[in-house]
C-alpha cells in the first residue's frame, strides 16, 4: 500500500537524527534555542499576564522542571503551560516571515519540560528535536491554500502546536505510528479563535502559547502510553486541513526537500519586542528621524501604508492609537511608531502602564493615518511605506521590503547575544552579564552537552 501523507511525515519525524541534519539546520536550532530561552527569561520578570499560569503550575506540585527565569520547579505539564505562557508574552520570539508561524514558541517549552523529566537528554538529541519540530510547523504554515482566518481561527498557535508535537515525538523516540497518534491527540485539543485579535482588554494574545504547549506535551505522553490515533490526522476527511483550511492545502509544500532542507534555518530573530508586522514602521521611523533630525513637536501627521496582513495592526485605528494593554500596544503600528519617534528606540521597558499613558507617545500615535495597500510591493506582513509630514510643509518618506532581522538582513551574532544578555538580566531571578554570557556560551554549544536539563536548574 502507498504511504499516506501523514505516514510519510511521521516516519521522517520519528527517524531524523543529528547525523542526518545539514549544517544550516544545526546552526538554526542553536540560534533558536538561544533566542527562545532568553525571551522566556525576560517574560518571567516583565509579564504579569503569565502569573496565573505560573501559580497554577506551582499549585499542581513541585517537580523536576524549571519555570525558566524563576526559582520554581514544577511537574512537566505545569512547566509546559507556564513556560508556554512566557514564550510569547513579551512578543520577542522568532518568526517565520514566509507564512503565519512562530515555530518555536510552543516547541521550546515542551522540549525543556521533557529534557528535565525524561532525561538525561543530550544536546544533539535536543537540537535535532528543535530542528524537526520547527521545520514541521513552518511546512504546515506554508502548505495552507485557504487562510485559517477565513474559518475564524488564529493560525500561529495552532500551527506551532503540531510542530511542538513533532519535535517532542522525535525527542522521546516515538515510533511513526505513535507520532501519528500524537498528532491525532493534538487535533483533539488545539484551538485558537480569531476573537483573540478583537477583544480590547484581554491578555490572552500574550499568553496564548501556554495552551498549545501543554496540549503538545499531553499528546506525546498519551501516545507513548499507547493511545491510538487517526489514520490520517493531517489530510483526512475531517482532519487538520479539512477543519482549519477547508481542505485546501498543497502537499508538495509538506514534502519538498523533506529531511534535507529545514525551514528553521530561515527564521527571523526580532530586534524589537513587538509584532513582526510593526517592525518595518519602527525601522523606517528610526531611520527617518535620525537622517533628518525630526523632532516629535515638528510632526503634523504620519501616513503609513500597510498590507492586508498588517491591517490588524491599524484597525480599529482609535484603539491602536491608544492601546489599553501591553500586548495590544505591541500589535499597534501607531504606538510602536510613536515609541520610535519619541524615545528613539523600542525596548522591553516601553510597554508598561506608564508608557501606555504617556501623553507624548499618545499624541504622536494619534497623528498616524493608515492606508491599506491591496497590492503591496513589499513582502507581505514584513514591509511597508511611511511618509512623515512636518508642520512647516516638508515631508520625508521611506519604503521597506523586509524589516531588519530577516534571513536576508539578519541580526549579527553579537546583536543576538546582546539581546539574550539583556533578556536574562530582566528575569524574575535575573542573571548578571557574566553569568548570562556563560549561559549563552553553553546554549550555543549544546551539541557538546550531555544533559540539557541540568543547564536550566532553578536559579538560587
Rounded distance, CA 242 to CA 265, Å?
Answer: 29
Residue 89 is assigned to a structural domain of this protein: yes
The pLDDT of residue 103 is above 70:
yes
Considering the domain architecture, whether residues 144 and 21 belong to the same structural domain is answered as yes
Residue 252 placed within a domain? yes
Confidence class of residue 199 from pLDDT cuts 50, 70 and 90? confident
Name the band, by pLDDT with cuts 50, 70 and 90, for residue 200. Answer: confident
Domain count, the chain: 2
Within a domain: 108: yes
Residue 412 lies in a domain: no
Condensed to tens digits (0 to 9), the pLDDT of residues 1-31 reads: 689 999 999 999 999 999 999 999 999 999 9
On the question of pLDDT at 460 being above 80, the answer is no
315 and 445 in a common domain:
no
Q: Which three cell numbers stand for residue 340?
A: 520610535
Q: Is residue 436 part of a domain?
A: yes
Residue labelled with grid coordinates 527565569: 69
Can you state the percent helix, strand and coil of the chain, rounding each to 5? 55, 10, 35
Q: 162: domain CATH number?
A: 1.10.4100.10
Q: Is 164 in the same domain as 281?
A: no
- Please check whether residues 121 and 262 belong to one and the same domain: yes
Q: Calculate what percentage of the chain has a pLDDT beyond 70.
A: 99
Tell me what the pLDDT averaged over the chain comes to: 97
Same structural domain for residues 130 and 256?
yes
For residue 297, the 8-state DSSP code is: G
**Closest to 163 (Cα-Cα) out of 191, 193, 131, 185:** 131
CA–CA separation, 185 and 350 (whole Å) = 40
Q: For residue 407, is it within any domain?
A: no
Residues 220 and 109 in one domain: yes
Q: What is the pLDDT of residues 378-413, one digit of tens each?
A: 999 999 999 999 999 999 999 999 999 999 999 999
Residue 147 lies in a domain: yes
Query: What integer pLDDT is reported at residue 458 of this predicted model?
Result: 78
306 DSSP assignment: E
Q: Which of 76-90, 193-207, 231-245, 324-338 has the lowest mean pLDDT?
A: 193-207
The whole-angstrom separation of Cα 298 and Cα 392 is 8
In a domain, 290, yes or no: yes
Alpha-carbon span 311 to 297, nearest angstrom = 27
Per-residue burial over 314-342, b = 16 or more CB atoms within 10 Å of its CB, e = otherwise: beebeebbbbebbbbbbbbbbbbbbbbbb
Residues 259 and 293 in one domain: no
Q: Find the CATH number of the domain harbouring 395.
A: 3.30.1330.120
Mean pLDDT of 440-450: 98
The parent domain of residue 228 ranges over: 5-271+420-456
- Contact by Cβ (8 Å): 459, 429: yes
Q: Domain check: are 261 and 303 in the same one? A: no
**pLDDT score recorded for residue 119:** 84
Cis peptide before 52 (omega within 30 of 0): no
Backbone angles phi, psi at 101, to 5 degrees: -150, 140
Query: Are 363 and 451 members of one domain?
Result: no
Residues 222 and 329 in one domain: no
Alpha carbon distances (Å) from 448 to 36, 125, 292, 443, 451: 19, 11, 49, 10, 9
Q: Are the C-beta atoms of 159 and 100 separated by less than 8 Å?
A: yes
Does 459 score more than 80 pLDDT?
no
Averaged over 297-317, what is the pLDDT? 97
Q: Are residue 267 and residue 282 in the same domain, yes or no?
A: no
Q: Are residues 291 and 248 in the same domain?
A: no
342-367 pLDDT per residue, tens: 999 999 999 999 999 999 999 999 99
Helix H or strand E encompassing 338: helix 333-343
Amino acid at each position: 500500500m502507498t504511504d499516506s501523507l501523514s505516514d510519510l511525515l511521521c516516519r521522517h519525524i520519528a527517524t531524523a537524527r543529528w547525523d542526518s541534519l545539514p549544517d544550516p539546520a544545526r546552526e538554526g536550532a542553536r540560534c533558536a534555542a538561544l533566542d527562545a530561552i532568553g525571551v522566556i527569561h525576560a517574560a518571567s520578570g516583565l509579564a504579569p499576564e503569565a502569573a496565573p499560569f505560573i501559580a497554577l503550575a506551582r499549585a499542581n506540585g513541585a517537580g523536576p522542571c524549571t519555570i525558566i527565569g524563576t526559582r520554581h520547579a514544577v511537574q512537566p505539564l505545569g512547566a509546559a503551560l507556564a513556560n508556554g505562557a512566557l514564550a510569547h508574552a513579551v512578543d520577542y520570539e522568532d518568526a517565520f516571515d514566509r507564512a503565519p508561524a512562530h515555530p518555536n514558541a510552543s516547541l521550546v517549552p515542551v522540549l525543556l519540560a521533557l529534557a528535565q523529566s525524561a532525561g538525561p537528554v543530550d544536546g544533539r538529541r535536543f537540537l535535532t528535536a528543535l530542528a524537526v519540530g520547527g521545520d514541521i510547523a513552518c511546512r504546515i504554515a506554508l502548505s495552507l491554500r485557504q487562510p485559517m482566518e477565513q474559518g475564524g481561527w488564529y493560525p500561529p498557535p495552532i500551527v506551532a502546536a503540531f510542530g511542538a508535537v513533532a519535535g517532542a515525538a522525535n525527542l522521546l523516540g516515538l515510533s511513526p505510528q505513535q507520532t501519528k497518534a500524537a498528532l491525532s491527540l493534538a487535533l483533539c485539543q488545539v484551538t485558537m479563535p480569531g476573537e483573540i485579535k478583537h477583544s480590547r482588554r484581554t491578555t490572552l494574545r500574550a499568553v496564548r502559547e501556554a495552551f498549545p504547549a501543554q496540549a503538545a506535551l499531553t499528546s506525546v505522553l498519551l501516545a507513548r502510553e499507547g493511545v491510538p490515533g487517526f489514520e490520517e490526522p493531517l489530510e483526512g476527511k475531517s482532519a487538520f486541513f479539512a477543519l482549519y483550511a477547508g481542505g485546501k492545502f498543497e502537499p508538495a509544500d509538506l514534502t519538498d526537500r523533506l529531511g534535507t532542507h529545514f525551514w528553521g534555518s530561515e527564521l527571523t530573530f526580532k530586534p524589537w519586542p513587538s509584532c513582526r508586522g510593526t517592525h518595518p514602521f519602527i525601522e523606517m521611523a528610526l531611520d527617518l528621524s535620525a537622517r533628518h533630525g525630526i523632532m516629535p513637536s515638528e510632526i503634523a501627521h504620519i501616513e503609513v501604508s500597510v498590507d492586508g496582513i498588517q491591517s490588524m495592526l491599524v484597525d480599529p485605528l482609535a484603539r491602536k492609537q491608544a492601546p489599553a494593554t501591553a500586548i495590544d500596544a505591541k500589535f499597534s503600528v501607531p504606538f510602536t511608531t510613536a515609541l520610535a519617534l519619541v524615545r528613539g528606540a523600542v525596548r522591553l521597558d516601553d510597554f508598561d502602564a506608564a508608557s501606555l499613558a504617556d501623553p507624548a507617545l499618545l499624541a504622536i500615535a494619534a497623528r498616524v493615518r493608515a492606508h491599506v495597500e491591496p497590492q503591496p510591493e513589499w513582502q507581505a506582513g514584513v514591509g511597508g511605506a511611511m511618509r512623515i509630514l512636518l508642520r512647516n510643509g516638508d515631508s520625508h518618506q521611506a519604503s521597506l521590503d523586509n524589516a531588519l532581522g530577516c534571513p536576508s538582513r539578519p541580526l549579527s551574532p553579537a546583536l543576538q547575544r546582546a539581546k539574550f544578555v539583556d533578556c536574562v538580566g530582566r528575569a524574575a531571578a535575573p542573571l548578571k552579564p557574566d553569568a548570562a554570557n556563560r549561559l549563552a556560551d553553553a546554549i550555543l554549544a549544546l551539541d557538546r552537552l550531555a544533559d540539557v536539563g541540568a543547564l536550566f536548574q532553578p536559579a538560587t
